[in-house]
Amino acid sequence: MITRMSSLFLRTLREDPADAEVPSHRLLVRAGYVRRVAPGGFSWLPLGLRVLRNVERVVREEMDAMGAQEIQFPALLPREPYEVTGRWTEYGPNIFRLKDRKGADYLLGPTHEELFALTVKGEYSSYKDFPVTLYQVQTKYRDEARPRAGILRGREFLMKDSYSFDLDDEGLARSYAAHRDTYIRIFDRLGLKYVIVSAMSGAMGGSASEEFLAEAEHGEDTFVRSTDSDYAANVEAVITPAPPAQSTSDKPDAQVHHTPGTPTIAGLVDFLNTARLGRTFTAADTLKNVLLKVRQPGAKDTTLLAVGLPGDREVDLKRLEAALEPAEVALLEEADFAANSFLVKGYIGPGALAANGVRYLVDPRVVTGSAWVTGADKADHHVVDLVCGRDFTPDGTIEAAEVREGDASPDGNGTLVAARGIEIGHIFQLGRKYADAFGLDALGPDSKPIRITMGSYGVGVSRLVAVIAEQSNDARGLIWPRAVAPADVHLVIAGKDDTVRAGAERLAAELDAAGVQVILDDRTVSPGVKFADAELVGVPTIVVVGRGLANGVVEVKDRASGERADVPVDEVVAHLVGLVNS
Amino acid sequence: MITRMSSLFLRTLREDPADAEVPSHRLLVRAGYVRRVAPGGFSWLPLGLRVLRNVERVVREEMDAMGAQEIQFPALLPREPYEVTGRWTEYGPNIFRLKDRKGADYLLGPTHEELFALTVKGEYSSYKDFPVTLYQVQTKYRDEARPRAGILRGREFLMKDSYSFDLDDEGLARSYAAHRDTYIRIFDRLGLKYVIVSAMSGAMGGSASEEFLAEAEHGEDTFVRSTDSDYAANVEAVITPAPPAQSTSDKPDAQVHHTPGTPTIAGLVDFLNTARLGRTFTAADTLKNVLLKVRQPGAKDTTLLAVGLPGDREVDLKRLEAALEPAEVALLEEADFAANSFLVKGYIGPGALAANGVRYLVDPRVVTGSAWVTGADKADHHVVDLVCGRDFTPDGTIEAAEVREGDASPDGNGTLVAARGIEIGHIFQLGRKYADAFGLDALGPDSKPIRITMGSYGVGVSRLVAVIAEQSNDARGLIWPRAVAPADVHLVIAGKDDTVRAGAERLAAELDAAGVQVILDDRTVSPGVKFADAELVGVPTIVVVGRGLANGVVEVKDRASGERADVPVDEVVAHLVGLVNS
């Protein structure tokens, strides 16, 4: 069916919308693809809905091709299953909750792990039934604190979420790998530039978890990549390369110094460098001990935790939280210091921690044999040459220090640089958390139950429309990849005389008959307006039927490159069919 | 892609689910199409989702063919537009409401009139832009008091809703007619048995409104149809045929009788028939006056209304409410009678009503010249031969009396019989209600604003899956029409030897290559189990590859008729392709 601009429900805007923060939002609104109807809530106008459905189709085709089976759950979900897993509480204000007329609690589903696990438990029972992978393409809801950037971060959005169910870890690894391959195929088909980054899997530690991040200047997610290799990772997932351990026997003895008024690293370093100790100190020579209180899930009380890290690094709270997840963590407050008088603020050292049973985790750079300036557990005193493994023994290491540009890449090749991206996919070896919660077992060949292990995998379908727009536009408008474009050809009638109009109509009809999706600009506005709209709308190929028709040619323009060519009228259908199928 | 029963996420049930009230629910659960996850909330398993998508596709194709343009709104909607139209309040407990983290009010959209009107206002401004018809296929929410019958009446369901926007009433009538034709095409393609009934349009009186009701024994909607014509109507929309007016001059004078203890019609008739008045009375000779209080929208106070109807008929509250809509109506209570002492309960007549300025509407059977026994406005007294148009003059007529089987059909052909159905579509000339609320105007050729008039049209997409199942099943299971079946062919491997299995696999591959959707039952269960599942699942054509293969034939069975035929193996692909495309 030919889409006629004269009747298409579309009004392009010459001006940028006032509330648009990023290019994709600006252009999708200006080109009439989406409209905001509430904070984080958008309507899809005809062209936008076509692109959304095209993205959805690509995702569905690849999910089907990998053997995943599509089902669909309601978005309005009862509280009970989420109560069983604790997520009703854990989500806090991030989900929409409501009561029905009888006062029963419901939520608008942010993800559906619970329902998938319960459904598989309801249908399947034998080891012979497994593995199975199910998916849905579903409207999801999250009550974002700050919905922003148009459909990039809405409160109602379309997601493909899938879940694999396997009998053992090897099966899960295979399902995970299959999803990884499928996601690569999806994002490649969509023409996206993206990286796959290691993602922290927190308490589920050891489980594989990776994020697909589309590269985007305005992306919300930061990650690091190597200058010299394809290493890329979420900051939370960066593993600090530890220097080699050193001998402890060749170090000078630890010595306590009176360092009055040096509770800060900078003050301490200044003091040491004027104290005639015979060497120069930097912040990297000091060991900063940060005191935290940690609450394990379900626990009433918090316990103290000390993190030791080189004084030139700050604690990165997101890395710290990821390392301790699912425990909650907070910095000590004055009252906590008061309640633990052995903690001499500004002068805390490993000695008092060990003497008082405080768990002590250190940055991986704090290796055996390394010598540090650190607190002497006495006001205005520090100890120099306190050697790890000789003078103190940490309880382990923790990834809590900030990652900086220029740090060595964990894979040994090059150094790290920061980059920004937008999460478009996430694959995660979830393990047995939900199977445990609901008792999801298969009966094995020996009639013994086998606890199922799950993977969870998501693609942000509606977000992808914005991500593609974010990566593919220019000053004049959108530039859609052919796989998702709202049409194949944007045919402009550039002339008022009947021959031109009739020629364009005939060409549109022939293209339509040949299976080419045509937007025909049959409006009575000026060619200039039509050209501007064609560039803004961003269909990959723009065909202009105008004066050249008298010489038997029409102009075919590539939206992305701007290249134009005159093509003989009697060859143009074949030419365009060739382009569409290329 | 071949769907293999060995890996299909499907477990059929031998037993009926305990909570299933109607055949469609029972069979859709037993055949593994849907599962209940909450009251009125269902998940779609793979086969069910396929049928749902097929129904959706038919609806979309026909909407596109009529020139309607698809868009999509969020389901989570802000309160404000619904406040403007008053529906935030009017919906009462029938919608789901919630607050976001900032305390702002939202609802889950039950229909989207407000959003469509606002969107058209946002994009369009000139008379040249109109008419336009927009639609969406969207998940809708209603907090039904009693969700029942599976997906027939859920709280979360899929609907196609469309809205036409026209410059004038003639345009609206054309848009309405186009939708009517489109709905006929949709329901015909889906193979449904249905009637189109006049529906009351209440206060919007005069506007056309029709419902498409699928005939169904277990339907919730009652309607009447003629024994002798294709007349069908909602009970609320039945127009009572009025008898011809009579002369008032040849009637005996009205006479008041002492009729002690006759506040009821039955008591009155008994009394009269023993009072030696020289004739026999029936309840149909009496005029019953029912007192009501009516509150106009927005009004603080109620006003009295009397309805006069033949004593052999009860007031049908639904018909009464529909006739008075959007006013609210209630029967008088004791306190109301006490406050209006001229109302002598059980003996109310037209005299006191007129004397006290009470509006008096009568059943259409109460024509000029008809004589009645009715209350004399005095305890224990009635008046006989009170003649309409001579002794009293009603303020008009009202359709408030019950409709009974055997009543004359309003079209003059035959009598009415009651029938049950399920609403599958509704078309409605909405008029200017929403355009008025939001000031939706087009600028006319004379630069004056033209108020837009709207039509609203709905099809219950997910409900249709159940309706089709309700109309098309037998004792063994579902029988899908080809247009929506989850597959074209259900191929059963009925034999263990390798030749049979290989032959079936080859046939499945050939069918798949020919574009025929195949479910292949490659499980290791007995042929009996496979046959039972095939009948339950309800794919239109069942092919059995078994012992006949040695003789070069496979069995092709029509699920609906049960007819079987042996078809030579080398002809079966062509034979099945022919069936699928027929």
Q: Between B232 and A506, whose confidence is greater?
A: A506
Q: How far is A463 from chain B (nearest CA, A)?
A: 15
Nearest residue of B to residue A12 by CA position? B123
Give A408's DSSP letter: B
Shared-domain flag, residues A62 and A175: yes
Give me the sign of the Cα torsion angle B83, B89, B94, B96: positive
Residues B84 and B76: their CA atoms lie apart, in Å, by 17
Whether A46 and B71 lie within 8 Å, measured CB to CB: yes
Residue B573 has pLDDT above 50, yes or no: yes
pLDDT tens digit string along B126-145? Answer: 999 999 999 999 999 999 88
B514: Cα separation from own chain's centroid: 40
What's residue A355's pLDDT?
A: 94
Average pLDDT over residues A510-515: 96
Nearest residue of B to residue A97 by CA position? B98
Residue B202 has pLDDT above 80, yes or no: no
What's residue A207's pLDDT?
A: 57
Shared-domain flag, residues A88 and A198: yes
The interface predicted TM-score of the complex, written ipTM, equals 0.85
Q: Between B299 and B116, whose confidence is greater?
A: B116
Residue B1 has pLDDT above 60, yes or no: yes
Dihedral, CA of residue B283, residue B286, residue B287 and residue B290, to nearest 10: -50
Neighboring chain B residues of A37 at a CB cutoff of 8 Å: 73-74, 77-78, 115, 118-119
What's residue A459's pLDDT?
A: 97
Q: Pick the range with the lowest mean pLDDT from B17-31, B38-52, B191-205.
A: B191-205
Whether A43 and B1 lie within 8 Å, measured CB to CB: no
Shared-domain flag, residues A461 and A495: no
Whether A76 and B10 lie within 8 Å, measured CB to CB: no
Q: How far is A91 from chain B (nearest CA, A)?
A: 12
Residues A388 and A245: their CA atoms lie apart, in Å, by 10
B106 inside domain: yes
Residue A204 has pLDDT above 70, yes or no: no
Shared-domain flag, residues A215 and A76: yes
What's residue B276's pLDDT?
A: 83
> For residue A329, which of A341, A311, A317 has the smallest C-alpha distance?
A317
pLDDT tens digit string along A337-371? Answer: 999 999 999 999 999 999 999 999 999 999 999 99
Dihedral, CA of residue B111, residue B115, residue B118 and residue B124, to nearest 10: -90
B543: Cα separation from own chain's centroid: 38
Using pLDDT thresholds of 50, 70 and 90, give the confidence band for residue B540: very high
**Which residues, 6 or more positions from A486, have their beta carbon under 8 angstroms from its beta carbon?**
A46, A47, A48, A50, A51, A54, A480, A517, A519, A537, A539
Residues A394 and A377: their CA atoms lie apart, in Å, by 16
Using pLDDT thresholds of 50, 70 and 90, give the confidence band for residue A560: very high
A340 inside domain: yes
Residue A143 has pLDDT above 70, yes or no: yes
B249 inside domain: no
Whether A155 and B122 lie within 8 Å, measured CB to CB: no
Within B244-387, residue ranges assigned H as helices are 265-273, 317-324, 334-339, 350-355
CB A233 within 8 A of CB A417: no
Q: How far is B103 from chain A (nearest CA, A)?
A: 11
**3-class SS string, A148-187:** ECHHHECCEEEEEEEEEEECCHHHHHHHHHHHHHHHHHHH
> For residue A77, which of A138, A164, A8, A7 has the smallest C-alpha distance?
A138
Q: Between B275 and B50, whose confidence is greater?
A: B50
CATH of the domain at A371: 3.90.960.10
**Which of A43, A115, A162, A517 best probes binding to B when mutated, by most B CB atoms within 10 angstroms?**
A43
Shared-domain flag, residues A433 and A509: no
Q: What are phi and psi of B246, to 5 degrees?
A: -120, 165
Shared-domain flag, residues B203 and B328: no
Whether A78 and B37 lie within 8 Å, measured CB to CB: yes
Q: Between B261 and B148, whose confidence is greater?
A: B261
Per-residue burial over A388-406, b if 16 or more Cβ lie within 10 Å, else e, is bbbbbebeebbbbbbbeee
**Which of A69, A151, A165, A166 best probes binding to B when mutated, by most B CB atoms within 10 angstroms?**
A69
Residue A179 has pLDDT above 90, yes or no: yes
Q: What are phi and psi of B166, to 5 degrees?
A: -130, 160
Neighboring chain A residues of B46 at a CB cutoff of 8 Å: 69-71
Q: What is the mean pLDDT of chain A?
A: 93
Q: Quick one: tokens of B232? A: 């069908």
Neighboring chain B residues of A143 at a CB cutoff of 8 Å: 100-101
Shared-domain flag, residues B205 and B134: yes
Q: How far is A426 from chain B (nearest CA, A)?
A: 24
Residues B521 and B517: their CA atoms lie apart, in Å, by 13
Q: How many domains is chain A partitioned into structurally?
A: 3
What's residue B232's pLDDT?
A: 87
Q: Quick one: tokens of B100? A: 């976001």
pLDDT tens digit string along B447-463? Answer: 999 999 999 999 999 99
Q: Quick one: tokens of B246? A: 């009579």
A28 inside domain: no
Q: What are phi and psi of A261, to 5 degrees?
A: 65, 40
- Write out the residue range of the structural domain in which residue B271 sits: 255-397
**Residue A357, Cβ neighbours under 10 Å: how many?**
9
Shared-domain flag, residues B494 and B369: no
Using pLDDT thresholds of 50, 70 and 90, give the confidence band for residue B146: confident
pLDDT tens digit string along A290-308? Answer: 999 999 887 889 999 999 9
Neighboring chain A residues of B64 at a CB cutoff of 8 Å: 1
**Which of A29, A73, A158 best probes binding to B when mutated, by most B CB atoms within 10 angstroms?**
A73
Residues B81 and A429: their CA atoms lie apart, in Å, by 44
Q: How far is B423 from chain A (nearest CA, A)?
A: 22
Shared-domain flag, residues A182 and A141: yes
CB B147 within 8 A of CB B220: no
Strands of the A105-108 sheet, one edge to the other: A76-78, A105-108, A97-99
Please give the share of chain B, as a percent, with pLDDT higher than 70. 99
- Any bridge partners for residue A221, and if so which? A421
CB B336 within 8 A of CB B344: no
Using pLDDT thresholds of 50, 70 and 90, give the confidence band for residue A50: very high
Residue A218 has pLDDT above 90, yes or no: no
A491: three-class secondary structure by DSSP: strand
Residues B162 and A117: their CA atoms lie apart, in Å, by 37
Neighboring chain A residues of B132 at a CB cutoff of 8 Å: 7, 9
Q: At what angle do helices B169-189 and B46-65 cross, to 10 degrees?
A: 140
Shared-domain flag, residues A437 and A550: no
Neighboring chain A residues of B1 at a CB cutoff of 8 Å: 64
- Phi-psi label, residue A258: left if phi above 0, alpha if psi -120 to 50, beta otherwise: beta
Cis peptide leading into residue A326 (ω within 30°): yes
Shared-domain flag, residues B309 and B233: no
What's residue A200's pLDDT?
A: 66
Task: Identify which of B9, B78, B122 has the shortest CB distance to residue A71.
Answer: B9
In the A/B pair of chains, how many CB contacts fall below 8 A?
143
Q: Quick one: tokens of A204? A: 């589920």
Average pLDDT over residues A204-216: 77
Dihedral, CA of residue A41, residue A46, residue A47 and residue A53, to nearest 10: 80
Residues B419 and B397: their CA atoms lie apart, in Å, by 27
Whether B155 and A45 lie within 8 Å, measured CB to CB: no
A43 inside domain: no
B142 inside domain: yes
B451 inside domain: yes
Q: Are strands B381-387 and B441-443 parallel, antiparallel or unpaired?
A: unpaired
A224: three-class secondary structure by DSSP: strand
Neighboring chain A residues of B119 at a CB cutoff of 8 Å: 35, 37, 43
Q: How far is A374 from chain B (nearest CA, A)?
A: 45
Rg (CA), chain B: 30
CB B3 within 8 A of CB B490: no
Q: What are phi and psi of B290, to 5 degrees?
A: -100, 130
Q: How far is CA A401 from CA A199, A370, A406, B418, in A?
A: 17, 17, 14, 78
pLDDT tens digit string along B290-344? Answer: 999 999 887 889 999 999 999 999 999 989 998 888 788 999 999 999 999 999 9
Average pLDDT over residues B214-231: 88
What's residue B207's pLDDT?
A: 57
What's residue B200's pLDDT?
A: 66
Whether B123 and A49 lie within 8 Å, measured CB to CB: no
Whether A71 and B43 lie within 8 Å, measured CB to CB: yes
Neighboring chain A residues of B465 at a CB cutoff of 8 Å: none
A35 inside domain: no
CATH of the domain at A529: 3.40.50.800
Shared-domain flag, residues A224 and A86: yes
Residue A72 has pLDDT above 50, yes or no: yes
Task: Identify which of B39, B75, B119 has the shortest CB distance to residue A156.
Answer: B75
What's residue B205's pLDDT?
A: 39
CATH of the domain at A204: 3.30.930.10
Q: Quick one: tokens of A482? A: 């052919």
Neighboring chain A residues of B156 at a CB cutoff of 8 Å: 74-76
What's residue A275's pLDDT?
A: 84
Instruction: Sort A5 into a burial class: Cβ within 10 Å, 0-12 / 13-18 / 19+.
Output: buried
Q: How far is B123 from chain A (nearest CA, A)?
A: 6
Residues A257 and A579: their CA atoms lie apart, in Å, by 77
> For residue B66, which of B123, B135, B112 has the smallest C-alpha distance?
B135
